[in-house]
């Protein structure tokens, strides 16, 4: 970058020192500039891109140095990205060559620098649906090595910033342990990580879809593993953002910086996660991003309060001579890393209005950036003037961590993000000065010492093709193919090109010594290859002789197989003719079978129709039967109603007759009382009833006089008491009669309900039914219906009622009131009994 500011005259300059000749093995730091779009229409831009590499800056009137500096300033960069440039173009120009270096086992450093709110984090990380440099680096890396990745835990990091090669057994045990831990340990919830000195808990997640359109060539005879780490430098302390073992609710523990055996600086005991895809890596980045410290300031709603360093480490290991497993030699492992640094923004306190903790954070940020600038200035001065000043890398953890890039070797690139607003002019000028000075720093070009193992190139692909061929042979029925071993042998090459042979003076013995060693190695290599070639020729002759013998054997077998084949053909012809005849017979049988099936189908249809007709007849018959039963039921109900009406009329006539008789008796009694006759204390009446039949079961019954005290014999039904057996039918709801006089039944069986005809026909010849009701005067009247049990011709029995006894209970108190004319009236009996039943046989 060059400045257009006027330089002092030659006489006013200090005498120039002889410039140090920078060797061709060093490259300058490449600085790119990205201009952020103007956010508000009211903002005034102070920048103008006049060429792909030059920016013209015009100082505004609001600048503090406007009076002293009123001229325009031109600043030259490696390349200038205008506001309309996409993220993909920036990645292709800046970061894609660094990914190529990473795959080529070379280290690289990329960091973004600028004022707060100039778009550094957006350039490095991106936003929703628009990925930045870091996600695109991961996509290209995994697109390139996706088919050549080693199994997990084959490469294992050690505490000294290096890696070890594990056997397949140990790697499998580690994978099983990780799987078991994942199944038994509950997955941590994605909660916001509270930091005691952070204003925001976490950044929002960045959903993205991986870009699979770009890939880079890789060495097919090597295996690769990717490890990532994510740290932040906050208040000049280093914190591990991927540490999952930190105590909940507590701040992260500060890490220390150390130097490994190759003079490379690293964070001691930092978490290195092996990832197998860009999605896994970006998910780990999001977990760490939630722990990063950001805060709200007057210039930026989410201002980074720390420097973040996302490191991608690529581990490469060569395959063995068979192209299957990694060579178990730690010295052959190649480790390269790409560090992506998002620096916190430089800011002024009077503009950000920071106080308290924010003010302390801004002071530490500015101090670390000033230390970075001071280190680069001293480094540039040492390179240009040949001085040997001490570079103060240890004054800041940021410069101390990247010391090996500037003092050692690697490729360093920087993206300067600027905001074209005139309000940021004073801060932007300081950023431009730093960028101008950074471009003058030289960094050693990385070199990769490659050890030649003498293995055949393309052995992985050869092993794959060999296995496929052996598998095909086994599937073809050649089991001996499983015992064939792959022998790729040595590479038939005598080595690399000859070393430089130009001798400028007679004292350059090193060139001769180097040439002698090279020739000795070349002769030894040639002898080795000659012996190997002779061995292979002998083996080939033996194999050719064996193949010739095997060929002769195969010829004899082929002739015998041909003779057998002719016989088999004849047999096949005979069998074909027999099969043809059999198929003809089968066709005829099938036709007959189809005809029989059609006949069966027709018969089934006819049978079904007949079944339908039969069912219809049965239904009609059932309907006729139902109509007949309904009509019979109606006739039966009609006859029963008529019979009930006749019985009711007959009962009413009998009751009227009985009432008339009772009235006459009362009149006679009254007449007798008036004449002074004594009334009997208890009277029993015997009524004569007209014989009747109830439902064809009731026979005629004779009546008796109620005033007779001696039972009247019924000569027609008189039998011997010793021969008769009674069925005494007493319903359960009877009212006790209240007297000792009971019907005389010597041999009887008492029942309360008739449920079975056998209860009548089982050896009984007499039947007595007791019924109770009230008479017209409201007195309790007990009637005993007696009859003979007569067997029927159908095997049953019928009861012919031939006698009825009526026992009526009357109250003497009521009778005293009716006949209370004379004062010397008295009750009929002293014990209060109103009725005394009489016993009849």
**Three-state SS letters, 690-740:** CCCCCCCCCCCCECCCCCCCCCCCCHHHCCCCCCCCEEEECCCCCCCCCCC
Pairing of strands 54-57, 73-76: antiparallel
Residue 114 is assigned to a ligand binding site: yes
What contacts 648, CB < 8 A, 6 or more positions away?
Answer: none
Q: Which of 450, 214, 456 has its CA nearest to residue 316?
A: 450
Q: Which of 839, 836, 782 has its CA nearest to residue 812?
A: 836
Q: Which of 128, 121, 137, 135 has its CA nearest to residue 34?
A: 121
Element (H, E) at 562: helix 509-675
3-state secondary structure at position 253: coil
Cα→Cα distances 384→441, 501, 523, 716, Å = 9, 33, 46, 165
Residue 288 is assigned to a ligand binding site: no
What contacts 412, CB < 8 A, 6 or more positions away?
Answer: 29, 30, 108, 109, 110, 405, 406, 441, 443
Question: What are residue 375's DSSP bridge partners?
Answer: none
3-state secondary structure at position 756: coil
Straight-line distance from the first to the last Cα atom of the chain, in angstroms, rounded to the nearest whole number: 153
Backbone angles phi, psi at 784, to 5 degrees: -115, 110
One DSSP character per residue, 483-519 reads: GPPP---------SPPPP----STT-HHHHHHHHHHH
**C-beta of residue 341 within 8 angstroms of C-beta of residue 308:** yes
Residue 116 is assigned to a ligand binding site: yes
Instruction: For residue 350, count CB atoms less than 10 angstroms from its CB and return exposed for 0-12, middle for 13-18, buried for 19 or more.
Output: exposed
Residue 687 CA to residue 731 CA, distance in Å, equals: 23
3-state secondary structure at position 610: helix
* Widest pairwise Cα distance in the chain: 196
Backbone angles phi, psi at 726, to 5 degrees: -100, 150
Locate tokens 């007779």: which residue? 708
Residue 372 CA to residue 395 CA, distance in Å, equals: 9
Axis-axis angle for helices 133-145, 96-103 (nearest 10):
40
What contacts 41, CB < 8 A, 6 or more positions away?
Answer: none
Residue 336 CA to residue 108 CA, distance in Å, equals: 8
**C-beta of residue 682 within 8 angstroms of C-beta of residue 827:** no
Question: What are residue 259's DSSP bridge partners?
Answer: 265
**C-beta of residue 711 within 8 angstroms of C-beta of residue 741:** no
Question: What are residue 805's DSSP bridge partners?
Answer: 784
One DSSP character per residue, 405-426 reads: HHHSB-EEEEEEEE--BGGGHH
3-state secondary structure at position 741: coil
Residue 442 CA to residue 23 CA, distance in Å, equals: 10
Residue 115 is assigned to a ligand binding site: yes
Residue 454 CA to residue 466 CA, distance in Å, equals: 20
Pairing of strands 163-165, 303-304: unpaired
Residue 551 CA to residue 536 CA, distance in Å, equals: 22
Residue 794 is assigned to a ligand binding site: no
Residue 222 CA to residue 74 CA, distance in Å, equals: 48
List residues forming the annotated binding site for ATP.
114-121
List residues forming the annotated binding site.
114-121
């Amino acid at each position: 970058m060059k400045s257009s500011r006027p330089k002092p005259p030659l006489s006013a300059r200090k005498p120039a020192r002889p410039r140090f000749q920078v060797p061709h093995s060093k490259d300058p730091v490449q600085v790119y500039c990205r201009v952020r779009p103007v956010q508000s229409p009211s903002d005034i831009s102070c920048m103008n891109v006049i060429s792909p590499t030059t920016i013209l800056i015009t100082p505004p009137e609001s600048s503090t140095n406007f009076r002293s500096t009123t001229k325009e300033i031109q600043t030259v960069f490696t390349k200038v990205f205008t506001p309309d440039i996409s993220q993909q173009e920036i990645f292709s120009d800046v970061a894609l060559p660094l990914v190529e270096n990473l795959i080529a086992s070379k280290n690289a450093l990329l960091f973004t620098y600028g004022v707060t709110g100039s778009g550094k984090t957006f350039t490095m990380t991106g936003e929703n649906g628009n990925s930045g440099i870091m996600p695109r680096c991961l996509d290209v890396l995994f697109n390139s090595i996706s088919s050549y990745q080693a199994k997990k835990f084959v490469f294992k990091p050690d505490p000294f910033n290096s890696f070890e090669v594990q056997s397949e057994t140990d790697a499998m045990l580690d994978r099983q342990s990780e799987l078991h831990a994942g199944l038994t340990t509950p997955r941590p919830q994605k909660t916001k990580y509270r930091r005691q000195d952070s204003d925001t808990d976490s950044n929002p997640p960045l959903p993205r879809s991986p870009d699979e359109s770009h890939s880079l060539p890789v060495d097919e005879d090597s295996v690769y593993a990717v490890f990532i780490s994510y740290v932040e430098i906050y208040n000049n302390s280093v914190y591990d953002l991927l540490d999952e073992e930190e105590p909940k609710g507590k701040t992260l523990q500060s890490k220390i910086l150390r130097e490994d055996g190759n003079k490379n600086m690293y964070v001691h005991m930092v978490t290195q996660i092996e990832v197998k895809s860009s999605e896994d890596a970006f998910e780990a980045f999001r977990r760490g991003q939630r722990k990063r410290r950001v805060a709200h300031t007057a210039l930026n709603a989410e201002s980074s309060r720390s420097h973040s360093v996302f490191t991608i480490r690529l581990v490469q290991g060569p395959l063995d001579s068979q192209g299957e497993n990694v060579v178990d030699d730690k010295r052959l492992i190649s480790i390269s890393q790409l560090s992506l640094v998002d620096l916190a923004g430089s800011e002024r306190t009077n503009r950000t209005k920071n106080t308290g903790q924010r003010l302390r954070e801004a002071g530490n940020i500015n101090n670390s950036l000033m230390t970075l600038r001071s280190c680069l200035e001293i480094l540039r001065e040492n390179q240009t003037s040949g001085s040997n000043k001490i570079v103060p890398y240890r004054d800041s953890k940021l410069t101390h961590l990247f010391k090996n890039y500037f003092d050692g070797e690697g490729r360093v690139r920087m993206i300067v993000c600027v905001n074209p607003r005139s309000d940021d002019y004073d801060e932007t000028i300081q950023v431009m000065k730093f960028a101008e000075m950074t471009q003058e720093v030289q960094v050693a070009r990385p070199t990769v010492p490659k050890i030649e193992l003498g293995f055949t190139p393309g052995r992985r692909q050869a092993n794959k093709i060999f296995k496929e061929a052996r598998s095909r042979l086994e599937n073809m029925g050649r089991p001996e193919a499983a015992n064939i071993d792959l022998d790729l042998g040595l590479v038939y090459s005598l080595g690399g090109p000859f070393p430089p042979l130009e001798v400028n003076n007679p004292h350059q013995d090193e060139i001769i010594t180097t040439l002698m060693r090279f020739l000795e190695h070349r002769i030894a290599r040639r002898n080795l290859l000659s012996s190997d070639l002779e061995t292979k020729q002998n083996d080939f002759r033996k194999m050719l002789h064996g193949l010739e013998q095997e060929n002769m054997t195969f010829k004899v077998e082929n002739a015998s197989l041909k003779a057998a084949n002719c016989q088999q053909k004849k047999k096949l012809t005979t069998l074909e003719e027999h099969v043809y005849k059999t198929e003809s017979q089968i066709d005829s049988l099938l036709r007959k079978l189809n005809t029989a099936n059609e006949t069966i189908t027709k018969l089934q249809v006819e049978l079904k129709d007949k079944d339908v007709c039969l069912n219809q007849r049965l239904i009609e018959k059932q309907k006729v039967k139902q109509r007949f039963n309904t009509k019979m039921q109606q006739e039966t109900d009609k006859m029963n109603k008529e019979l009930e009406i006749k019985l009711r009329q007959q009962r009413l006539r009998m009751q009227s007759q009985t009432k008339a008789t009772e009235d006459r008796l009362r009149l006679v009694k009254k007449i007798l009382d008036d004449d002074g006759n004594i009334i009997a204390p208890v009277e029993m009446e015997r009524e004569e009833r007209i014989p009747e039949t109830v439902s064809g079961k009731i026979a005629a019954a004779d009546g008796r006089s109620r005033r007779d005290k001696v039972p009247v014999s019924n000569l027609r039904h008189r039998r011997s008491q010793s021969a008769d057996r009674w069925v005494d039918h007493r319903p359960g709801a009877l009212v006790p009669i209240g007297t000792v006089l009971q019907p005389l039944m010597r041999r009887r069986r008492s029942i309360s309900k008739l449920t079975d005809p056998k209860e009548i026909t089982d050896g009984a010849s007499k039947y007595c039914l007791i019924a109770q009701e009230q008479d017209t005067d409201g007195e309790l009247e007990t009637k005993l219906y007696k009859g003979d049990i007569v067997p029927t011709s159908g095997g049953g029995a019928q009861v012919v009622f031939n006698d009825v006894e009526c026992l009526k209970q009357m109250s003497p108190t009521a009778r005293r009131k009716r006949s209370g004319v004379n004062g010397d009236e008295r009750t009929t009996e002293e014990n209060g009994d109103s009725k005394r039943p009489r016993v009849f046989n």
